[in-house]
Chains A and B, each alone.
Chain A
Amino acid sequence: MKAEKYFIQGNEACARGALKAGCRFFAGYPITPSTEIAEDMAVFLPREGGSFIQMEDEISALGAVIGAVWTGLKAMTATSGPGFSLMQEHIGYAAMTETPLVIVNMQRGSPSTGQPTMASQSDMMQSRWGSHGDYEIIALSPSSVQECFDFTAEAFNLAEKYRVPVMVMGDEIVGHMREKIIIPDKVEILPRQMPKEGPETFLPYQAPPEGTSAMPAFGDGYKMHITGLTHDERGYPDASNPQTHSELVNRLCDKILKKTAEIARIQEESTADADVIALSYGAPSRSALKAVRNARNQDIKAGFIKLDTVWPFPEELVRETTKNAGKVVVVEMNLGQIFYEVQRVLPEVKVELLPKIGGEMQSPQEILEKIKSI
């Protein structure tokens, strides 16, 4: 089969990307503006020999996904703000048990039930910090229908490589927008790593300081003990031992943070000689790109940065691409979240926020005015 063209929504593209990447289990609870992902999975998963379950809520949805992963499957769920909040406990459990899975969050106006049919990027900090404790996850931010496909497929491989929950942090605009996409016949699939040792000698949590262990499933013949309690290299609870806890939790963080250079990606345009840079991610990055191009047409030295990876934050790449610029405008659909991260990594640069809430993204004109006035 050859690559095929489609004119579909970002949500549908997420579902197609997941299926191509080998996802064979989806549990979820439908919620606007992510519902089309669940609808598509309900149609297509059974045809691929997979399973779709509509659960009673989002807590059980992520619980079912975690269970499916430990049977050896690749699995995902999709939701929006209110459901994402309910999933937080299990996100921490997945991080602690190093369960590779994918969560798509098509963000809507919030807090609470907020604006079901309108867009926001208000869950960006929650995607990193929403569950209790020190842990790290990976979050990608698609800005087009093609990226919804590509990033969701990539999310499954990242999840396997680092044994970590990976979030695809979209928004209502990309979720519901329709564009032409090319779906390749095959995408690269990273299979789950099986142990080289036999069941007698394998230690499921004996990972190198910045790495992960192989992951046999229940039924593969290995003795697996999966717990959210602090556990030793056998997987047994060892919750009162300060050293065990410190080593485990440091490793959970280091296996992501110290691999930022190989995980994180950005896109840029015209940054080399730019005085002012518009930095954005997700849907509003397309507004920012238009604004930067308009600025260049008016002989304003503007540049553009789009974060493909939001977590781990691409610190070095942002520093490198802004090193000749004195000013950065952060464009996001919230009241300031990634803005503070940019400020943190660019202490010498004048960083200002162009926030927007209400459900619509910043217009190119609004961004251009900010580029001129900063």
Chain B
Amino acid sequence: MRKDIRIAGFGGQGIILAGIVIGKAAALHDDMFAVQTQSYGPEARGGASKTEVVISDEEIDYPKIENPDILVAMSHEALMAYLDDLKDGGILIIDPDMIPEEDVLPFVKEHNIKLYKAPATRTADEKIGLKIVANIVMIGAITRITKVVSEDSARKAVAESVPPGTEDKNLAAFEAGAALADGGV
């Protein structure tokens, strides 16, 4: 079974690291096959940023994604660029402070999309005191909502992917994100 996940936002949000963590969790700790790819412009910050993760229980031939099962949008620009590609019946996770819900509702209704709102940026700021961990908050939300990787594997992958000494803050961010999923839409 193959799952195609696309996470998009703007440069500086840690989008690509989010993809790496999920890929690592799947490939190294869940013993699945995983491919993570990314696209970015020549700019260091700002600009669009996108990462794609394919997770499968068999070897992955085509490593890119045409129509994701799961789309995570952390900026309005990213949502506009990629919403149309989302599979019918797919999962859409948005940061509602970046994206007005009414912008996605017609599409969600028409294509039978399961919509989840995860205010990752606000949660990172208010609960952890660090906006920079918004991507890890989002990984927590993605993990609990979609179950594409196991939570234990995701925690391990977070801990080994962040700078040494910041593991506790990042794991707290992960839990805060997972809790957002429990709150529902």
Partner of B38, one of A116, A176, A361, A365: A176
Interface flags for B52-85 (1: CB within 8 Å of A; 0: not) read: 0000000011111010000000000000000000
Q: How distant is A149 from chain B, measured CB to nearest CB, in Å?
A: 15
Q: Establish whether residues B63 and A180, one from each chain, have CB atoms under 8 Å apart when the complex forms.
A: no
Q: Which of B23, B28, B37, B60 gathers most chain A CB within 10 Å?
A: B37
What residues of chain B lie closer than 8 Å to A6, measured between beta carbons? 28
Does A178 lie within 8 Å of B35, measured CB to CB? yes
Given A177-B37, A178-B35, A178-B36: A361 and B27 within 8 A (CB)? no
Least distance between A62 CB and chain B CB atoms (Å):
25
Q: Give the number of residue pairs across the A-B interface with Cβ within 8 Å.
A: 59
Cβ contacts under 8 Å, B40 to chain A: 117
**Of A87-95, A286-294, A346-354, the one with at least 4 CB within 8 A of chain B:** A286-294
Cα of A99 to Cα of B20 in the assembled complex, Å: 39
Task: Determine if A5 is an interface residue (Cβ-Cβ < 8 Å).
Answer: yes
A7-B61 CB under 8 A given contacts A116-B42, A176-B38, A180-B28: no
Cβ contact within 8 Å between B62 and A173: no
A179 interfacial by beta-carbon distance below 8 Å: yes
Q: Is A165 an interface residue (CB 8 A)?
A: no
Task: Give Cα A365–Cα B62 distance, bound, in whole angstroms.
Answer: 11
Query: What string of 1s and 0s marks CB contacts (under 8 Å) between A289-309 and chain B?
Result: 110010000000000000000
Q: Closest residue to B35 on the A side, CB-wise?
A: A179
Mark A257-292 against chain B: 1 for CB-CB distance below 8 A, else 0: 000000000000000000000000001001101100
Decide yes or no whether A363 CB sits under 8 A from chain B: yes
Residues in chain A near residue B36, CB distance under 8 A: 7, 177-179
Given A173-B37, A178-B35: A290 touches B23 (CB 8 Å cut-off)? no
Bound complex: CA A364 to CA B64 (Å)? 10
Contacting pair B34 A7 (CB below 8 A): yes
Which residues of B lie under 8 Å from residue A180 when comparing CB positions? 27-28, 33-34
Assess whether A7 is in contact with B37, with CB atoms less than 8 Å apart: no
Task: Give 1 or 0 for each of B101-130: 1 = CB within 8 Å of chain A CB.
Answer: 000000000000000000000000000000
With an 8 A cutoff between CB atoms, is B41 at the interface?
Answer: yes
Closest A residue to B43 using CB positions: A117
A-chain residues with CB within 8 Å of residue B23 when the two chains form the complex: 7, 178
B15-46: which residues lie under 8 A (CB-CB) from chain A? 20, 23-24, 27-28, 33-42
| A290 in contact with B66 given A7-B20, A176-B37 (CB within 8 Å) | no
Closest to A292 in B: B61
A35 CB → nearest B CB, Å: 13
Chain B interface bracket (under 10, 10 to 19, 20 to 34, 35 or more): 20 to 34
Q: Which residues of A contact B66 (CB under 8 A)?
A: 363-365
Does the CB pair A179–B34 fall under 8 Å? yes
Contact B39 A117 (CB under 8 A): yes
Partner of A7, one of B28, B38, B42, B60: B28
Interchain CA distance A364-B66 in the complex, whole Å: 9
A149-189 CB contacts (< 8 Å) to partner B: 173, 176-180
Given known A364-B62, A365-B66, contact A5–B28 (CB-CB < 8 A): yes
Q: With A177-B35, A178-B35 in contact, do A286 and B28 touch (Cβ < 8 Å)?
A: no
In contact, A287 and B20 (Cβ under 8 angstroms):
no
Across the interface, name the chain A residue whose C-beta is closest to B160.
Answer: A7
Q: How far is A227 from B68 in the complex, measured between Cα atoms in Å? A: 56
Assess whether B63 is in contact with A7, with CB atoms less than 8 Å apart. no
Question: A178–B24 Cα gap in the complex (Å)?
Answer: 9
Inter-chain contacts of B38 with A (CB < 8 A):
176
Does B37 lie within 8 Å of A117, measured CB to CB?
Answer: no
Interface of A toward B, CB cutoff 8 Å:
5-7, 32, 116-117, 173, 176-180, 283, 286-287, 289-290, 293, 360-361, 363-365
Q: Nearest 10 pairs between A and B by C-beta?
A: A180-B27, A290-B62, A178-B36, A290-B61, A7-B24, A289-B61, A7-B27, A177-B37, A179-B35, A286-B61
What 11 new A-B contacts, CB under 8 Å, besides A7-B27, A117-B40, A179-B63?
A7-B28, A116-B42, A173-B63, A177-B35, A179-B36, A179-B60, A180-B34, A287-B62, A289-B61, A361-B64, A364-B62
Binding site for A on B (CB under 8 A): 20, 23-24, 27-28, 33-42, 60-64, 66
